[in-house]
Structure 1
Amino acid sequence: MKLIPAFLKLVRWPNLIFIMLTQVLFQYGIYYPVYRNSIPAGDTLQFILLVVASLFIAAGGNIINDYFDMNIDRINNPRKMVIGKYINRRWALLWHLVLSVLGILLTAIAVNPFSRWYLVVANVICVILLWFYSARFKKDTLIGNVIVSLLTAWTIMIIFLSKFSFFDAFHNALPQQLKLFRFAVLYSGFAFIISLVREAIKDVEDIAGDRKYGCKTMPIVWGINATKVYVAVWIMLLIALLGVVQVYILQLGWWLGVAYCTVLIIVPALYLFKKLIGANSSKDYHDISNLTKTIMLTGILSMITFYFYL
């Protein structure tokens, strides 16, 4: 494998494309229609810088994750190993540092660090969490899964918070602010729950390597059956919440959104629940993990349907 393909594999370029797609869809499928006639000057440049910052921080996090996972990956994913085979460990650490620092600097450039300093601080915290997640928390029960899910939701919230004015929200209560807030909570909440589901499923899939290296993930500490119950509860909660959203948008006459969500999100989620109950092999959990990723994708793509109604 040549160096560039190895590096792209190391930073997990499909995941980076998914992050970029999520942020682009929120920008152009939700934000632009809501603020159709009042987009501030410089918004596009700010958005581009924030997207690149998010990609750099995520890429750096993927690198450090693989750095700390070398021994476990020799058992769980030997064919996917890059560090130690194609890229030197020291170079991997350097790339993690460079990408993380660039991500923080681009965040500071994109937003006014005096008025929106909390976004810069939040991305610094993201870098720190990614390090400690890779070094320690991913081996512990539940906390690692929660961290990944929060970081997944943050890819939407950072775009929202770069546009949301707390001053206007408290003093003027503009209808656009409220509408954007609702969509941000809806999609970041979806991202958080579906990520919790996928991370728990991955823990079951990777149980062999995790157990050998002393990890205390849910299936190891609680058992596989208890972990399946945990995942099933989150799936049913997600389906219930999506059902409530459908009732709400039905009242607005948004039939395209209802049809899309029902056919491409709720029905696959019900099928995911059924597959989970009958899963009993590593291949079963691998298939369920892929199905979860598909639901994540269709969920994010649903932003396109709102473009026609907002």
Structure 2
Amino acid sequence: MFGKLIRWPNLVFILLTQSLLQYCVLMPGFVQSDHHRPLSLPCFLLIVFSYVALAAAGYIINDYFDLQIDQVNKPERVFISLNGISKQQALVSYWALNLLAIAASIYVDIKTNARMAGISAAICAGLLYYYSLSLKKRLLLGNILVAAITAWSIMVLICLQGIQWPFFSDNFHLERMTQCTFLYTLFAFIISLVREIVKDMEDVPGDIQYGCYSMPIAWGIPAARVFAIGCLTVLLMMLLITGIHLGASLSWVFRLYCGVFILLPLLHISHQLLKADTTADFRRLSQQIKGVMLTGILSMVFFLF
């Protein structure tokens, strides 16, 4: 029950994203560029733990505040109840996870002299609380916040390791590494934003009943659908331009993988969004978007070769 409450598959996504970024994208770049400030394994594991714990706490507090809404939208996914996890147990777990996450990040600051991991974790915890309390009910702001925190879980690793985003540097390996990290950050932000909007379209019945002002409610589902498709179009164009720009530096296997497992599914999702109309349609699309998130994450493996 507790694993379902904290959405353990989504936590695996965070662990996988940060691990593959660190050891498939960043570490090879550090080695080739003679960069001497990579995180040690213990510090890296603490940062991963911190963001996994922050996300788990975020899911708990979101369910805590959305208990009535979820009983309308997703009654089968209500885990805080008399027959499951009590409200008191949920709150104790929430505070414990946040405190452990912030403590782990502060320890990394002490060991690395980074001076930003603890503040970053505390800000993320506060923003996720504010999102669950009220921001998610406001037009687009909550969607952008969740997408930004998702993207930050990628950026934080490069910021903690002394890289100042040298997009145009004399060091080819450092430049390529930072550009790739920024592209993955943009990918995470845009696709997370689209998924949040699709989930809002799925949750319209309960959101209307309890006064939420999400995009599908404020603008209508057709307008929200167009906005989501527009975001997907931007993402597709970004990926295509990147592929053309990098050209021969990308292996044909990597390009084939991205075409089959990222670009084509994104096109399919865009097409399905045009026709989606029921809660079941939007729930299915949300799962498909999560699948593209996974294939995007796994594409980092190719940077080892």
* TM-score bucket (shorter structure): over 0.9
Aligned to 1:120: 118
Q: How does 1:12-51 map to 2 (within 5 A)?
A: 12-36=7-31, 38=34, 43-51=40-48
Corresponding letter in the other structure for 1:144:
G
Equivalent residue in structure 1 for 2:244, among 244, 247, 250: 247
In structure 1, stretches of 5+ residues that fail to align are 1-5
Partner of 2:60: 63
Contact 2:116 2:160 in 1 (8 A): no
* Alpha-carbon distance between aligned partners in 1 of 2:281 and 2:146, rounded to the nearest angstrom: 23
Deviation (angstroms), 1:173: 6.2
Q: 1:228–1:41: structure 2 CA closer, same or farther, 3 Å change rule?
A: closer
1:76 equivalent in structure 2: 73
Read off the aligned partner of 2:72 and give its amino acid letter. Answer: I
CA 1:11–1:174: 2 relative to 1, 3 Å:
same
SS of 1:280's equivalent in the other structure is coil
Report the AA paired with residue 221 of structure 1. Answer: A
Q: 2:298 aligns with which of 295, 301, 304?
A: 301
Q: What secondary structure does 1:245 align onto?
A: helix
Any conservation in 2 of the 1:193–1:238 contact (CA below 8 Å)? yes
Structure-to-structure mapping, 1:76-115, within 5 angstroms: 76-84=73-81, 85-112=83-110, 115=113
Output the CA distance in 2 between the equivalents of 1:169 and 1:212.
Answer: 49
Structure 1 residue 88: deviation in Å?
1.4
Q: Which residue of 1 aligns with 2:149?
A: 151
The offset of 1:118, in angstroms, is 2.3
Report the residue type matching 1:218 in the other structure.
Answer: M
2-structure distance, mates of 1:185, 1:42: 19
Offset, 1:7: 1.1
Give, in angstroms, the shift of residue 156 of structure 1: 0.8
* Unpaired segments ≥5 residues, structure 2: none
Per-residue CA distance 1:146-197 (angstroms, 9 max, x = gap): 010001101111111121344x969x96544323221221101100000010
- Give the AA of the match of 1:45: P
CA distance in 1, matches of 2:163, 2:288: 37
The 5 Å alignment of 1:141-290 reads 141-166=139-164, 174-290=171-287
- Identity across the alignment (%): 37
Give distance in 1, aligned partners of 2:209 and 2:280. 20
Which amino acid in 2 is paired with 1:280? D
Asked if 2 retains the 8 angstrom alpha-carbon contact of 1:153 and 1:192, the reply is yes
Aligned letter for 1:304? Answer: V
> In the comparison of the two structures, how many residue pairs are matched?
301
Change beyond 3 A, Cα 1:169–1:245: closer
1:28-48 Cα distance to aligned partner (Å, 9 max, x none): 110122123656586111111
C-alpha distance in 1 between matches for 2:69 and 2:170: 51
Structure 2 Cα separation of the partners of residues 176 and 93 of structure 1: 46
- Structure 1 residue 11 and structure 2 residue 6: aligned? yes
Report the Cα distance in structure 1 between the residues aligned to 2:26 and 2:248, rounded to whole angstroms: 22
What is the distance in 2 between the residues matched to 1:176 and 1:112? 29
Q: Assess, with a 3 A threshold, how the Cα gap between structure 1 residues 253 and 57 changes in structure 2: closer, same or farther.
A: closer
Counterpart residue number, 1:3: none
Assess if the C-alpha contact under 8 Å between 1:11 and 1:59 holds in 2.
yes
Please tell me whether the aligned partners of residues 258 and 299 of structure 2 are also in contact (alpha carbons under 8 angstroms). Answer: yes
Change (3 A) 1:180 1:253: closer
1:63 CA drift (Å): 0.7
* Mapped contact 1:57–1:103 kept (Cα < 8 A): yes
Cα pair distance change 1:295/1:169, threshold 3 Å:
closer
1:220-243 CA distances to partner (integer Å, 9 max, x unpaired)? 000000001100100100000000
Q: Aligned equivalents of 1:143 and 1:117: distance in 2?
A: 28
Label 1:194 to 1:169 Cα distance change in 2 as closer, same or farther (>3 A): closer
- What is the CA RMSD across the aligned residues, in angstroms? 2.0
TM-score w.r.t. structure 2 length? 0.93
Which has the larger displacement, 283-292 or 177-186?
177-186
Q: 2:289 aligns to what? A: 292
Paired with 2:250 and 2:122, the residues of 1 have a C-alpha distance of 42
CA distance in 1, matches of 2:134, 2:49: 27
Aligned partner letter, 2:156: I
